[in-house]
Amino acid sequence: MLRAALKAGQVPGLEGYDRVMPEQKYGTGSRIDFLLRGAGRRDAYVEVKSVTLSRQPGLAEFPDSVTDRGTKHLGELAAMAAAGHRAVMLYLVQRSDCASVTLAPDLDPAYAGACAAAVTAGVEVLCFACELSPEGIHPGVQLPFTLPDIAQ
């Protein structure tokens, strides 16, 4: 469903791309979830992560366990941003009780550090709640993202 929403220009911040290509090879042996291309626009490399953890009311956290692969993806995104491309970390919150998103550095400090470095390198972070319907799961309202102090 995310692919269809991207193609239809229904994901705020990622509108205006006419080519949505999933699972494209890039970097050092990685695959990006989506490579977006559009006339007059920088290529956008979009990595997607599902967020399910919430240990405080209203706050979604990522990751819920150590993710070496996720840490590698952040490094690859940072390299794309440094090369002049648009790089986006897209968190999809898979629960309806959260109003904001952060990281869980106590569960994976390497990921938190890599995310802080990626943001410094120019990687954009977009977060969305998910809307559930009989037709499927769709990106819903955009949620604010905050890097925790320990990751900065």
By residue range, what is the domain housing residue 81? Answer: 2-151
pLDDT at 151 over 70: no
Residue 5 in contact with residue 142, Cβ under 8 Å? no
Q: Name which of 141, 117, 137 is nearest 128 in CA terms.
A: 141
Residue 85 CB coordination number (10 Å):
17
Phi and psi, residue 106, nearest 5° = -70, -25
Q: Return the amino acid letter for 66.
A: V
Read off the pLDDT band of 70 (50, 70, 90).
Answer: very high
pLDDT at 139 over 80: no
Distance of CA 71 to the CA centre of its chain: 12
| Count of domains observed in the chain | 1
Read off the pLDDT band of 152 (50, 70, 90).
Answer: very low
> pLDDT tens digits for 16-58?
999 999 999 988 888 999 999 998 899 999 999 999 999 999 9
CATH no. for residue 122? Answer: 3.40.1350.60
The CA dihedral of 47, 66, 105, 89, to the nearest 10 degrees, is 0
